[in-house]
Amino acid sequence: MKQAVVIAATMLISIPLAFAGKAEREYQKNELAPSVTKAQDTYKKACGCALKINVNATTIKEIDDMRQARYITENVSDSVAGYCTDTESKKAMCAMKTLDITKGKETKFTFAGGKGTAVTDGQSYVSFDMMTREVDK
């Protein structure tokens, strides 16, 4: 009985891996890329400046990781208009020219030299509030 369970579990793991390349390409094309574009457009409209968002394809490879990256960009889209409501906030947020999204050991956000780095641990994501706390100091 235990052997049958192990074999069944192995088969379940093998099936998704066989299709991972196609599924990941489709997720990137249909979910992540449009979310990045929307976040960039929404940021520019709300703050009056451009934000270039880069998703690190070397570390963000699996759909679960891409989903966390999408959550980051969606949170930017959903929150930026409510933040960039005055000249001082717009000026502060326009200091961030680039947002890099990558996967690492812990979820965190750092900002230096016009570049923000949002790191997901694969289980949680960087919120827009985490970004504004660092950028608008």
What pLDDT digit, counting tens, does each position of 28-56 carry?
A: 999 999 999 999 999 999 999 999 999 99
In the prediction, which pLDDT does 2 show?
Answer: 43
**Kind and range of the H or E run holding 4:** helix 2-18
Q: Which residues of the chain are under the pLDDT cut of 50?
A: 1-19
Of 37, 103, 97, nearest in space to 67 by CA: 103
Give the separation between CA 23 and CA 9, rounded to whole angstroms. Answer: 21
Give the separation between CA 126 and CA 117, rounded to whole angstroms. Answer: 9
Q: What would the two tokens of residue 30 be?
A: 């249909």
In the prediction, which pLDDT does 99 show?
Answer: 98
Threshold 0.95, pTM exceeds = no
